[in-house]
Structure 1
Amino acid sequence: MIRLIVTDMDGTLLHDDKSMPDGTFALIDALHARGIHFAAASGRQYASLRDNFKEHATYMHFIAENGAVSADGATDTILRTHPLPLDKAIELIRIARSLPDTFVVACGAQAAYYESDSPILERNLAAYYHRRMLVKDLTALNEELVKLAILNIHGTQEFVHPHFAPYKEQFSIAVSAFEWMDIMMPNVHKGIGVRDLQQRLGVSRDETMAFGDFMNDYELLQEAAYSFAMKNAIPAIKEVATYETAFTNEEDGVIKEIRRWLQI
């Protein structure tokens, strides 16, 4: 019996233009009526995720910032955070600053901060960080930070990730999309967010269904017996998942798979 469904957002639930598939909200309502928990797991901040689902967020849980933040939509409260040591965050910010065409977003549990007014950064921030603030100096922040998101439109795997190799044992460093890389505390990923929810809700791995498409979904899929790689997923995700969706994200693959399995 499925009691918890967790889905990634970009490249998984959402269309490529970031739009929500038709029927998503009706499906969330139907799942809630059956007592099935629905959660969104994303590199996006909690405020953005909540906005994405509007009033239906009250029927949901959220794993935000790639696992660094967990939240309960019903009460609109942060359940758990995994903050970075502030001195280390400053050190990492300074490294990213030194790289060409690279921008840093410092993520708190409730808001994101950035120090460049570049149109490139602003275009890429809009979808992921609805609650954000331009500041003069990120290293002067005196706030708990749960994640550093680093943007390079030429590709973070090639142009950013190698510069942080000396820190791979100290932090969780994940290329979350072609142009984004996230830095969090070690062993923080979407999978830990799923385990937190399972424990809180009294749900087992065998009662969990999950969907993903990219490497930041790897641990997420490992925490669900019913794990689905999207038809459009990268090969490594298809290898770790138990199943593959019959349709891509552009074809509403998550919605169709849930309806097929649960006969909703």
Structure 2
Amino acid sequence: MNKITLKNPGIVALDLDGTLLKSDHTLSQRTIETLRVLEKQCRVVISTGRSYEGMKHFKDQIGLENPVICYNGAMIADGRTDKILHQWLLPSDITRAAYEYARERGIHFQAFQDGELYFEKKTEESEYYEASTALQGHLTSFDHWENLEVTKALMIISPSRSSGDFPELHEARSYFKEQFAERLYCALSKPFYLEFINGKGSKGNALHQVGTDMQVSQDRIAAFGDGFNDLEMLEYAGMSVAMSNAPQGVKERCTHETELSNDEDGVADFIEKYFLR
């Protein structure tokens, strides 16, 4: 592998959790400094399943002002002004079907609307999510909402389950894909997170939109990721880099792989070796 693989990337899109961030949800100083150097020669774009509020701290740590892909591609925000540039909301009937499905099966359900996180009761799952994202959720009853259009919804199973298997989420994903087809994008961002957004959203569609807005062609876009919710973005990019800590199902659909994991500054190491001039 050498720098000829992608001579001059115009955009480098980067997932956060499991990719840029270490397992303790922090950015290393090496990663920050490497991305600041990279930003001098191309546009560095964060692409995350997190809300804008949940990722803004990391964007600001690096010093980026480029558009940001958040909510798994359901929203693109201006990193300089914080204004929404593009947004695709989950239709009300799908939100209702999802929370009723989760409620009947005792699965934790939560949703984002207007940048705020909501759930019907505090659980081990809600506390885990709040702690890992530094967000504070609000208690509500979704039955009382007049407008159920949300930016993103999630079903979450406790990550402390000893088996490490979460068949309920695979079953739910199959059910909702069959019920709503192209109106819904539904993906596992972690083995225990099932995310729901508008069918027009995905990190791939959002990256296409960002490239169009920036007038950067597909072949000059590189992307890094570790999860199955990154696949559309990785497959759209002219060069796709899977993290060494990614599952095999992600690695086999990418053109390249980092030598080091997210806990070992894998992204920074790859960029230093193959992108920086």
TM-score with structure 2 setting the length: 0.87
Distance of 1:57 and 1:240 partners within structure 2: 31
Select the residue among 131, 137, 140 that pairs with 1:133: 137
The CA deviation at 1:164 is 4.7
Name the CA shift for 1:45/1:124 in 2 (closer, same or farther; >3 Å).
same
RMSD value, Cα: 2.0
Select the residue among 244, 249, 254 that pairs with 1:231: 244
The CA deviation at 1:237 is 1.0
The 5 Å alignment of 1:164-243 reads 164-168=173-177, 169=181, 170-243=183-256
Instruction: Write the deviation string for residues 211-232 of structure 1: whole angstroms up to 9, x where unpaired.
Output: 1111111111011112101111
Distance of 1:225 and 1:215 partners within structure 2: 18
The 5 Å alignment of 1:17-166 reads 17-34=24-41, 36-54=42-60, 56-100=62-106, 102-128=107-133, 130=135, 132-141=136-145, 142=147, 144-153=149-158, 154=161, 157-166=166-175
The answer to whether the 8 A contact 2:173-2:194 is kept is no
Distance of 2:264 and 2:111 partners within structure 1: 34
- 1:227 partner letter: S
Distance of 1:92 and 1:143 partners within structure 2: 11
Instruction: Write the deviation string for residues 209-261 of structure 1: whole angstroms up to 9, x where unpaired.
Output: 11111111111101111210111111111111001111111110001111111
Percent identical pairs in the alignment equals: 27
1:253 paired residue number: 266
The CA deviation at 1:195 is 0.4
Structure 2 stretches of 5 or more lacking a match?
Answer: 1-7
1:16 aligns with 2:23: yes
Report the count of equivalent residues: 261
Name the CA shift for 1:157/1:70 in 2 (closer, same or farther; >3 Å).
farther
TM-score with structure 1 setting the length: 0.91
Distance of 2:172 and 2:105 partners within structure 1: 9
Q: Identify the range of structure 1 (50-59 vs 223-232) with the bigger mean alpha-carbon deviation.
A: 50-59
The answer to whether the 8 A contact 1:46-1:109 is kept is no
Name the CA shift for 1:58/1:109 in 2 (closer, same or farther; >3 Å).
farther
The CA deviation at 1:157 is 4.3
Name the CA shift for 1:164/1:205 in 2 (closer, same or farther; >3 Å).
closer
Distance of 1:167 and 1:57 partners within structure 2: 39
Q: Secondary structure at the match of 1:79?
A: strand
